[in-house]
């Protein structure tokens, strides 16, 4: 790393940390909603009681293990609680470190994807993004989940011998915060490859299986714990069936709705049994009425990507006297506007810009017109919508249109995170907090907007060199015997 990069990285980290500490300490309040459970779980772990609570049975306290929510964020907070105490200020400090680390990881990945100055823009966008800054005051998981994925991508694209292995292990740890991270594990096999090369499919498939196995290594001890102390085995958590039912049952709206025992699971005793019951119920509902379930997909993606209000709704719930309706409405308006502009520029990151002639220029010009039309019609309605742009952003860069911008794994892996997030919430349900995991992806892609198409000669040379780069990452890139 150049001395100038070290200076920039240090300044970026300190700036992002200070900004989050200042905002977080001013705004932090009581942990509410899911944050209450994350905080309580962290306190129990810090006290040496594990991820659990106590039940009163026949007048006696009985230790009761949990795994409904993923354990990762609570375990992360517990490290700070154990050393510094369980206070709101400690939550802000842990979140500020996470946010500053996320800015650094985005900068490093952006530099590999687009080059030096665009990478720096990506890091700065994450550092100053108002929604991500506000999250420093929230006891919520999204920035930590995003950090785990980005660190894994940075390691996997490093070109070093053990980079891919370390990246897979970090992604496995990230799955303890957000289990959907495991969906990205097979795609780490893209490291050192150009996309969709049919001649290398078998090798990439072999690597994908091995990398996924490595990613499961940090998860399996927790799975064994669940099998031992719960009422059945669960890979990470037991809210998947619950979420599937919320996204498919007759009262489903596309966003969170409270399930009742009268909806389908009346007699359950343990968290695993409950999860399996709701999962079976959700599958049954989808099978019985597939068009109802599919018809909810636009609403689910709309609730996930069309606005950004969760942080200030959380803060209002925690400290209503500080965040009255008018104040939180203004704050929601600012974060929603920033989010929509960011989505537009991220969509432009898949378009190659050239004033030359040729098929590539025409194709990319048509793509630019298409992006502009989708943006216009999405924003012109009574209820502005940007989720179609997000879908375009997740899909188009994988298509080998003439004149497209330069491709690299450092672009492909963040796109995988974006695409799997779109898919997850199309299947389950949507809330705008869930897009915060991919906000750094949008920042990275926005920094890549208005790039020139890659010259054909350079593209051909890079494809040849990708084999050599792949060989540097060790046994996981070897052909199966």
pLDDT digits 0-9 by tens, 454-470: 766 555 555 444 444 44
Number of domains in the chain: 1
Q: Does residue 285 form part of some domain?
A: no
Q: Give 344-400 as a DSSP string.
A: HHHHHTTSB---S-SHHHHHHHHHHHHHHHHHHHHHHSSS---HHHHHHHHHGGGS-
Cα dist from 209 to 188, 216, 218, 364, whole Å: 10, 11, 16, 35
At residue 412 the predicted structure's pLDDT band, cuts being 50, 70 and 90, is very high
Q: Tokens 């809330």 belong to which residue?
A: 431
At residue 360 the predicted structure's pLDDT band, cuts being 50, 70 and 90, is confident
With 80 as the cut, is the pLDDT of residue 373 above it? yes
With 50 as the cut, is the pLDDT of residue 474 above it? no
Q: Residue 90 has which token pair? A: 């400690």
Q: Does residue 246 form part of some domain?
A: no
Q: List the domain range (segments joined by +) for residue 443.
A: 3-224+301-469
At residue 194 the predicted structure's pLDDT band, cuts being 50, 70 and 90, is low
Tell me, what's the pLDDT at 316?
96
Weakest-pLDDT range from 126-140, 213-227, 467-481:
467-481
Tell me, what's the pLDDT at 193?
58
Q: Does residue 407 form part of some domain?
A: yes
Residue 167 in contact with residue 155, Cβ under 8 Å?
yes
Q: Does residue 275 form part of some domain?
A: no
Q: Does residue 240 form part of some domain?
A: no
Q: Does residue 295 form part of some domain?
A: no
Tell me, what's the pLDDT at 428?
98
Q: Does residue 292 form part of some domain?
A: no
Residue 170 in contact with residue 178, Cβ under 8 Å?
no
The pTM assigned to this predicted structure is: 0.93
Q: Does residue 368 form part of some domain?
A: yes
State the number of CA atoms in the 13 A half-sphere of 342 facing the CB. 29
Tell me, what's the pLDDT at 257?
94
Tell me, what's the pLDDT at 197?
57
> Mean per-residue pLDDT for 42-68?
93
């Amino acid at each position: 790393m150049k001395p100038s990069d070290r200076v920039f990285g240090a300044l970026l980290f300190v700036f992002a940390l200070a900004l989050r500490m200042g905002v977080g300490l001013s705004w932090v309040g009581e942990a509410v909603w899911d944050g209450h459970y994350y905080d309580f779980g962290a306190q129990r772990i810090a006290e040496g009681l594990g991820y659990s609570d106590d039940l009163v049975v026949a007048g006696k306290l009985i230790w009761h293990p949990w795994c409904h929510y993923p354990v990762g964020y609570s375990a992360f907070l517990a490290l700070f609680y154990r050393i510094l105490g369980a206070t709101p200020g400690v939550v802000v400090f842990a979140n500020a470190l996470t946010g500053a680390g996320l800015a650094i990881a985005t900068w490093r990945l952006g530099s590999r994807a687009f080059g030096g100055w665009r990478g720096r823009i990506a890091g700065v966008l994450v550092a100053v993004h108002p929604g991500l800054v506000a999250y420093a005051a929230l006891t919520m998981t999204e920035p930590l989940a995003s950090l785990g994925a980005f660190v894994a991508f940075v390691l996997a694209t490093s070109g070093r011998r053990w980079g891919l292995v370390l990246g897979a292990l970090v992604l496995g740890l990230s799955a303890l915060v957000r289990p959907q991270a495991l969906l990205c594990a097979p795609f780490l096999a893209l490291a050192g490859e150009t996309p969709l090369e049919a001649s290398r499919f078998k090798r990439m498939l072999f690597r994908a299986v091995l990398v996924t196995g490595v990613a499961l290594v940090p998860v399996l001890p927790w799975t064994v714990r669940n099998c031992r102390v719960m009422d059945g085995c669960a890979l990470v958590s037991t809210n998947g069936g619950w979420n599937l039912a919320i996204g498919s049952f007759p009262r489903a709206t596309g966003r969170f709705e409270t399930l009742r025992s009268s909806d389908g699971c009346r007699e359950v005793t343990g968290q695993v049994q409950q999860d399996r019951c709701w999962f079976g119920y959700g599958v049954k509902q989808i099978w019985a009425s597939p068009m109802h379930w599919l018809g909810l997909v636009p609403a689910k993606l709309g609730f996930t990507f069309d606005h950004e209000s969760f942080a200030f709704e959380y803060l209002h719930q925690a400290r209503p006297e500080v965040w009255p309706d008018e104040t939180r409405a203004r704050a929601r308006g600012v974060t929603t506007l920033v989010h929509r502009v960011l989505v537009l520029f991220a969509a432009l990151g898949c378009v190659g810009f050239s004033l030359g002639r040729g098929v590539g220029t025409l194709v990319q010009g048509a793509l630019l017109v298409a992006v502009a039309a989708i943006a216009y019609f999405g924003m012109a309605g009574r209820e502005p919508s940007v989720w179609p742009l997000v879908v375009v952003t997740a899909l188009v860069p994988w298509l080998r249109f003439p004149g497209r911008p330069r491709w690299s794994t450092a672009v492909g892996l963040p796109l995988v995170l974006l695409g799997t997030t779109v898919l997850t919430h199309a299947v389950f349900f949507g809330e705008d907090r869930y897009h915060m995991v991919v906000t750094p992806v949008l920042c990275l892609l926005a920094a890549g907007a208005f790039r020139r198409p890659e010259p054909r000669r350079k593209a051909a040379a890079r494809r040849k060199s990708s084999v050599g780069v792949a060989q540097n990452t060790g046994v996981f890139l070897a052909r199966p015997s």
